[in-house]
Amino acid sequence: MVRLTMDLIAKNAGHKNRSEEDFGQYVQKLTHLNLSDKNIDSIGDLSFCKNLRVLYLYDNQINQIQNLDFASNITHLYLQNNRISSIENLSLLKKLEKLYLGGNYITVVEGLDKVGELRELHIESQHLPLGEKLLFDPISLNSLAKSLSVLNISSNNIDALEELAVLENLSYLKAVDNQLKHMKDLEVVLKKWTKLRRIDLTGNPICQKPKYKDRIIVQSLTL
């Protein structure tokens, strides 16, 4: 397997034969780094990349979020389709706005209580144990209440949305292919989400109910 290190960055950037001084200046100025689909299984020391804003690490074999404490300027983090089972070690990413974690092995949305600027969370299609659903830690939800505007929780066996009612700034919810059945549960959150502009519930049992779209529009003040 491959460890994400400065050597890998140098190889990827074509800096293999340049001087260390040139490379040092290069990584300090680096704002975007794309190391997707490189068979990476762990994140090493990237502390020289202090100006990194956007990090693409999707389609790898990473099993733990780690060694990102240096990345205080990161705004976008792409970690889809890895082997991550826990959301952790993000507390120092104070400027993080968009977090992509779809297609991992996460069972609980947690560890986000210090990420106060997060605007988008994409956590669709987790590889969950048979019969289990994606869970939400109330502390993390409360911390995201004022900042989060886009949430993608598709394909996670979710059967209720009531605990997400605290997300008062939500403008777009994508909850495709879940197990949402009850209109009353939906009505509760729609009254709370006063900034909601778009909701996608395609593939849920609730979609089979007569005039479900009309009922949603009636309950929401903004759709």
Tell me which long-range contacts 174-177 makes (C-beta under 8 A, separation of at least 24).
Answer: 174/124, 174/199, 174/200, 175/199, 175/200, 175/201, 175/204, 176/124, 176/200, 176/201, 176/202, 176/203, 176/204, 177/202, 177/203, 177/204
Concatenated DSSP letters for 122-135? E--S--PPTT---E
Type of residue at 127: H
Give the lowest-confidence range in 25-34, 98-107, 109-118, 189-198: 25-34
How far is the C-alpha of 70 from the C-alpha of 160, rounded, in Å?
A: 37
Mean pLDDT of the chain: 92
126 to each of 16, 26, 151, how far by Cα in Å? 37, 36, 14
What confidence tier does 22 reach under pLDDT thresholds 50, 70, 90?
A: confident
Whether residue 216 is predicted with pLDDT greater than 90 in this model: the reply is no
- Residue-wise pLDDT tens digits, 155-177: 999 999 999 999 999 999 999 99
Closest CA to 175 of 154, 199, 204, 205: 154
Helices (H) and strands (E) in the chain, counts: 5, 12
Q: Which CATH architecture has domain 2-107+117-126?
A: Alpha-Beta Horseshoe (3.80)
Give the lowest-confidence range in 13-22, 47-56, 111-120, 148-157: 13-22
Type of residue at 114: K
What's the token pair of residue 108?
A: 């609980």
Q: What is the pLDDT of residue 14?
A: 62
